[in-house]
Amino acid sequence: MLSNPFSPWKSALAPQTALDLASVHLENARKAKNSELALTFCKDAEKALARIKTSVRKTYVSSSRAEDRALCNEIATTYSELGELLDGLGSPTKAQACYKNEEKWGYAFKARVSNCTPML
C-alpha cells in the first residue's frame, strides 16, 4: 500500500508522487543560498525518489505504454539534474550514484548517449 508523502522515509510512494516531491526538493536546492542547505535538499530529493519500490520501477521501465515511458523519462531526467547539481556542489560520488539511478530508469541516459558525436 502506498502512503502519504510526508510519512516516514521508509514507506513506499507511487512514482508520480515521488517525482513531484523530489522536484520540489530539487527546486529548493537550486534556490538555496548556501551549499550546505542545497546538499540537504538534494539528499531529500534522493530519498523521495528512493521510496519507489524496485518492483514498481521494473514494471514501469518494461512497460510499452507511452505514459509509463514518459514518467520513466521524467524520473531519469530528475536523477540527471540532481547528479549535475551534486557535482556542482562538490559531491561527485553522490552525483555518480544519481547517474547510475538515471540509467536504471533508462530513457534520458539513452537519449544523452545517442546525441553524442563519436570522436574520430
The pLDDT > 70 percentage for the chain reads 80
pTM: 0.80
Q: What is the pLDDT of residue 116?
A: 43
Nearest to 89 by CA among 12, 28, 34: 34
Among 77, 78, 60, residue whose Cα is nearest residue 69: 60
Per-residue pLDDT of the chain (120 residues; tens, 9 = 90+): 445 555 555 689 999 999 999 999 999 999 999 999 999 999 999 999 999 999 999 999 989 899 999 999 999 999 999 999 999 999 999 999 999 999 999 754 444 444 444 444
Q: Which of 12, 21, 35, 7 is nearest to 94 (CA)?
A: 35
Residue in the structure block whose three cell numbers are 510519512: 7
Tally of helices (H runs) and strands (E runs) in the chain: 6, 0
